[in-house]
Amino acid sequence: MTVLISLIVAVAKNGVIGANGGLPWRLSSDLKTFRRLTLGKPIVMGRKTFASLGKPLDGRDNIVVTRDPYFEAEGVSVFNTLTEALVLARALARTNGSDEVMIIGGAEIYQAALPLANRIYWTAVDAEPEGDVVFPPLATSEWAQVSSEVLPRGPKDDHNAQLVIFERKP
C-alpha cells in the first residue's frame, strides 16, 4: 500500500500561519475539518506545534520532530529528523489501514516536508493577520488544485475560509 505524505495547513492571504506560538484566528469550522481529515492517521509535527497543542491529539499517533535530544512527552514518539519520523509514520499508517501521513506544522516541518508531499489540504483564510510564522512559498507549477469547498462560517469563526486540496503534478 502506498502511503501519501500530506500537509494540512491554514494560511491567511498574507501567508501567515502562526502568531506568538498559536493561531492568529479563531476558526472552529477549520478545527472540525482538521479533526475529520486527521483522525485515525499518524500526525507529524515540530516541537513548537506540539507545545501549542499542549497535549497529544486523541485518535491519532502523535510524532514530534525536534533537535532537542532531551525532549520527552507522554503519548508521543520523538525523533530528531523528519526522515526518521516518516519511517515510523508510514509504518503506523500501514498498520492502521490508513493511506496517509499528515504533516501538521510548523513552518520548519512544512519546509522540510514540502518536497516529499503528495497532497496539501490548504485552508485559505480570508484575512491578513499579524503573525510571526508564514508558510513557505508554494511552487504552483508543481501543484494542481483538485477540489475546493467553502467551510460554513459559524459563530465561532473569525473569518471566512475555504478548504482547497492540491495534489502534486506528475
* Mean pLDDT along residues 19-38: 96
Mean pLDDT along residues 160-168: 98
pLDDT > 90? residue 140:
no
Predicted TM-score of the model (pTM): 0.96
pLDDT grade, residue 120 (50/70/90)? very high
Domains of the chain: 4-168 (3.40.430.10)
Q: Is the pLDDT of residue 1 over 90?
A: no
Peptide bond into 105 cis (omega under 30): no
Q: What pLDDT band is residue 123 in, cutting at 50, 70 and 90?
A: very high
